[in-house]
A and B are shown apart, each in its own frame.
Chain A
Amino acid sequence: MAAIGKSKAGLDKNNKYDRQLRLWGDHGQTALETSRVCLINASATGTEILKNLILPGIGSFTVVDGHKVQGEDVGNNFFLTKDSIGQSRAKFATEYLSELNEDVSGDFMEEHPESLLESNSDFFSQFTIVVATNLCERTLLKLGKCLWEKNIPLLICRCYGFIGYMRLVVREHRVIESHPDNAHEDLRLDRPFKGLVQYIDSIDLNTMNKKDHSHTPWLIVLYKYLQEWKEKHAGELPKVYREKNQLKDIIREGIRRNEEGVLEDEENFDEAIKAVNTALNPTKISSQIQELFNDDECTNLHSESSNFWILVRALKEFVENEGNGALPLRGTIPDMTADSERYIQLQNVYHEQADSDISIISNKVHDLLVNIGRGGNITDQEIKTFCKNAAFLRLVRCRSLEQEYSEDSDKLKDLSHHIDDEEPDDVIFYVLLRAIDSFYDKYNCFPGWYTDQVESDVIKLKTCLSKLMHDWGLNCMIKDDYIHEMCRYGASELHTMSAFIGGAAAQEVIKIITHQFIPFNNTYIYNAMKQTSVTIEL
């Protein structure tokens, strides 16, 4: 069983974390438990994010916040109380958050991030990831630059009225276990490996009894009739619909008949016929994996190369040599109608081939490590996991804040496709939030902050928006309705909005920490009015 120990209170972590261990496994949990998360500003959104990280058991967290608690903070923040008004927000939030999980250690720093960035920017080097809420544009850009240089991921979160916003800034995030929802099986019927051919050749459908015939795994059935088809078609696979139907007919012919000539009920044949549509896709390398092979990091390994890139390079060499253009075999087959014995035999045939592919790659990995003179080992388990997930590797490279904020960014020019329409999509709120930031920069206050100034702020915000769009070279219109709505919000942070972003952001942090599942890239907008959302790269 897993080597996860008991926590301080003696609670079995296997029990306490059972429901999540089923999602990211013991190794994911270990990654979580050794992580250090920094939160900037214990706003409602900030504490909700931390809550959803402390509960599953991150290693430690640090709250950086120079604010004193105000009445409105206590109004929307579960981790502050009336008694804390006027005192350090960092301190109180840390205390209440710490109660959530005794396995997580909490710490705080009562200081504004601006001054921390000035005086001690190395402070941030200790963290696995930094989460920032409610920072003004100027500070954000500074922080973004600092963390970009240190290669520390940054997640920016914000709730503004009924709009939620997140921006992920990570130079390079590598995912081996992306856990795709519905992945194609890797069966190689189009290019069977030797072990599979040998095994299937040892089976003769014609001579077996009725029971064995109807319990032969469909994979074998399909393979046999596929050979028949190929012989008649110059070795080609059926490709188009008509050809696939012909193959189905051939398989159907193979179903046994009883004494009266009536077709027997052979479920495995039904499954084989169904599989014609899904199991004969040619084995190929996806463009995403091809891109990894062509990446500089793969082609130019160096003594600092990460495990991931060394593995990708070994994978590439395998594909170009032993693999004959294919990835290592995944080595799993789906469940199917079959007797136990032959199903397990078939499963073993796939297992053995996968193991042999892994050992080839493993040798390559060790050779590469020697060649580039890099210290540190790559474990067999890591290589194995990598090979099994070779088809699903993912790389996320976010653009920096600096790139996003540069006025000649092409991405900004593309925004017109999203907003210049009768029914603009939720990207429009990105533009509006940027206009609000310009407003804040200019007036040191959010539009609509004071109820008696909502109307006049609408006009001012409109001016800010026009200027922004002009600077970006956008010649489209944003309806006044949107500007009015943003002024209505007046920077209100409704708790349920914080809770939504608090959940979504925490999950992104977990993805970054565990290197499992795929984070968004790079801007996420949530529109609670319609319960819709959109992701865009900026």
Chain B
Amino acid sequence: MIKLFSLKQQKKDGVDSDKSGSHKKSSAAQLRIQKDINELNLPKTCQVDFPDPDDLLNFKLVISPDEGFYRGGRFIFNFKVGQGYPHDAPKVKCETMVYHPNIDLEGNVCLNILREDWKPVLTVNSIVYGLQYLFLEPNPEDPLNKEAAEVLQNNRRLFEQNVAKSMRGGYIGSVCFDRCLK
């Protein structure tokens, strides 16, 4: 049986013996993201950028696809990892305006592991691979940008042209896209 703590002593108010001052400890979320980041195994088309290296909870992912519709483009995603990590998924938004069936013009991304299928065993790496896959295999069946999805479904050539145009910073319909060629 557990021998319980020796409770019956006065607890001291305020400062205690440890003189190292007010050292805040790293949270579980912090320690876990450190592990995730240190072990990131990025595909060669991806790169992460930490504006503040001391803040591992906020960073950017740059995807530069080398094949598929989006070859030659450069797409920036913003990652926000909360204190709920890994119970809660990181919040990911696409900062580059992109013509893509699964990313809307506000930067919302429809990727299952970012929402309904997130599990604590998944890592930042899983998300990076998921996002990279979206550029290789855009999925028109469950779209966020319905117009783009319809074009992809009905006319792959046109879709390809539209993507190319959008990446050059042109108009698709009435929407003007950001130039994002490397």
Contact = CB atoms under 8 A, between A and B. Distances in A.
Interface of A: 210-211, 214-215, 265
A106 to B, nearest CB: 41
9 contacts: A210-B141, A210-B153, A211-B140, A211-B141, A211-B153, A214-B141, A215-B141, A265-B139, A265-B141
A265 B141 CA distance: 10
Contacts of B140: 211
Contacts of A265: 139, 141
Contacts of B153: 210-211
A383 B163 CA distance: 58
A210 B139 CA distance: 12
Nearest to B150: A211
Contacts of A215: 141
A46 B140 CA distance: 63
Interface in B69-97: none
Contacts of A210: 141, 153
B160 to A, nearest CB: 16
Interface string B111-143: 000000000000000000000000000011100
* B interface residue count range (under 10 / 10 to 19 / 20 to 34 / 35 or more): under 10
The listed residue with most A CB atoms (<10 A of its CB), out of B139, B140, B141, B153, is B141
Nearest to B139: A265
Which 3 pairs from chain A and chain B are nearest by CB? A214-B141, A211-B141, A211-B153
Nearest to A215: B141
B46 to A, nearest CB: 23
Contacts of B141: 210-211, 214-215, 265
A216 to B, nearest CB: 12
Nearest to A266: B141
A144 B144 CA distance: 65
Given A210-B141, A211-B141, 7 more contacts: A210-B153, A211-B140, A211-B153, A214-B141, A215-B141, A265-B139, A265-B141
Nearest to B140: A211
Interface string B137-163: 001110000000000010000000000
B131 to A, nearest CB: 17
Contacts of A211: 140-141, 153
A215 B153 CA distance: 15
A484 to B, nearest CB: 19
B29 to A, nearest CB: 29
A211 B154 CA distance: 11
Nearest to B154: A209
A214 B139 CA distance: 12
Nearest to A267: B142
A215 B139 CA distance: 13
B117 to A, nearest CB: 11
A215 B141 CA distance: 8
A500 B139 CA distance: 54
B171 to A, nearest CB: 27
Nearest to B149: A211
B96 to A, nearest CB: 26
B134 to A, nearest CB: 13
A210 B153 CA distance: 9
A141 to B, nearest CB: 43
Nearest to A214: B141
A342 to B, nearest CB: 14
Contacts of A214: 141
Nearest to B143: A211
The listed residue with most B CB atoms (<10 A of its CB), out of A211, A214, A215, A265, is A211
B147 to A, nearest CB: 14
A120 B139 CA distance: 78
A265 B142 CA distance: 11
A214 B141 CA distance: 8
A533 B141 CA distance: 52
B2 to A, nearest CB: 15
Contacts of B139: 265
B154 to A, nearest CB: 10
Nearest to A211: B141
B87 to A, nearest CB: 23
A20 to B, nearest CB: 27
A215 B140 CA distance: 12
Nearest to A264: B141
B170 to A, nearest CB: 27
B108 to A, nearest CB: 19
A339 to B, nearest CB: 10
A243 B139 CA distance: 34
A23 B171 CA distance: 52
A334 B109 CA distance: 26
A472 B48 CA distance: 77
